[in-house]
Amino acid sequence: MLGMEDKEHIEHYAKHFLALTCYAQPPENLGSNWVFLSFSGFILSVRGEWYFATAGHIFEKDMPKWLAVGYAFHDWQLKDMTPSFDPRIQDIDGPGIIHTIPFALESQPKWHVYNEISGTDFAVFPLRSYYRNLLKGLIPLDETAWQVDPSANFEKYLLLGIPSDTVKLLEVPPTSQIGAVSSYYVSIEVEPLTSNETEVHLLRGHIPDIAMSGLPGFEHIHGMSGGPIFGLRQNPAGESRYWLLAIQSTWNPGEQIITGYRIQPIVRVINGLIESQAL
């Protein structure tokens, strides 16, 4: 359970948010341009250890598609989204700023799972002390944030992430290996939907209107996969609190329905991996 001064502002959520980015280089036969990719995620803490958490389908489904047609990934980075905060929109710092951290993704221990039938969809990367020391401005979502009854009701539900519509490659590698990027993260209110008994590990929600002022061209939430879904409510003392409920997974644009994978089964997997020393 975490406190915040004004539940209408998302600066408190931003302290948990982390973006994973890279450049995708096309094969010569495609004649395409380089692409800048940005993946939503957040810092999760279990038993005092930090993990970067995001959607599993990024690594199990999306990246293999790029690799299959010959794309190569370069310059993986973690982007701390907290500086120069605007209550509505946050500009990502470009590479070279202290809040942009090179990330050796290929050599990192990781665990990612995606099952389209069951809805299981998450990825976790342990963040060793080197990265923790560089991410001092971030606050991990620990047991006080994710230990909550999955059946509990909340006054408001919010999804935080980076829509693909807002990601732009402004300078093309290799002429500028520190190519700047203009991007935003946004919060979107979610109306929860009832899941059936076989989907207790899923959180389904309806987004009634994703049009947002200040975000020209923002038409869908693609790219927000991996972002945290929070539940908000007031405690008996009238103080606003929020909890981490799920990781954003899928999006049905026709019905404007999102599906998140709940955090409790993810924590159970992490605990098992810790005990078996597999992660």
Q: List 79's β-bridge partners, or say none.
A: 19, 100
Distance CA 235, CA 27 (A): 55
Query: What pLDDT digit, counting tens, does each position of 150-174 carry?
Result: 778 888 888 888 877 777 666 655 5
Q: Strand 257-262 and strand 202-206: pairing? A: antiparallel
Contact (Cβ atoms closer than 8 angstroms) between residue 116 and residue 274: no
Phi, psi (degrees; rounded to nearest 5) at 243: -130, 150
Contact (Cβ atoms closer than 8 angstroms) between residue 188 and residue 203: no
DSSP state at residue 197: G
Task: Give the count of beta carbons closer than 10 Å to the beta carbon of residue 126.
Answer: 18
Distance CA 159, CA 186 (A): 8
Q: Which domain covers residue 83, as residue numbers? A: 2-275
Q: Strand 111-114 and strand 121-126: pairing? A: antiparallel
CATH classification at residue 92? 2.40.10.10
Closest residue by Cα to residue 186 from 146, 227, 152, 150:
227
pLDDT at residue number 259: 92
pLDDT at residue number 171: 60
Query: From edge to edge, which strands make up the β-sheet containing 100-102?
Result: 35-39, 18-25, 72-80, 100-102
Contact (Cβ atoms closer than 8 angstroms) between residue 10 and residue 229: no
User: Whole-model pTM?
Assistant: 0.84
pLDDT at residue number 182: 43
* Tokens at 116, concatenated: 């389209």
Q: How far is CA 94 from CA 101, 129, 154, in A?
A: 10, 23, 36
pLDDT at residue number 5: 38
Residues of the chain with pLDDT under 50: 1-8, 83-98, 175-183, 212-217
Number of domains making up the chain: 1
Closest residue by Cα to residue 230 from 156, 163, 136:
156
pLDDT at residue number 71: 93
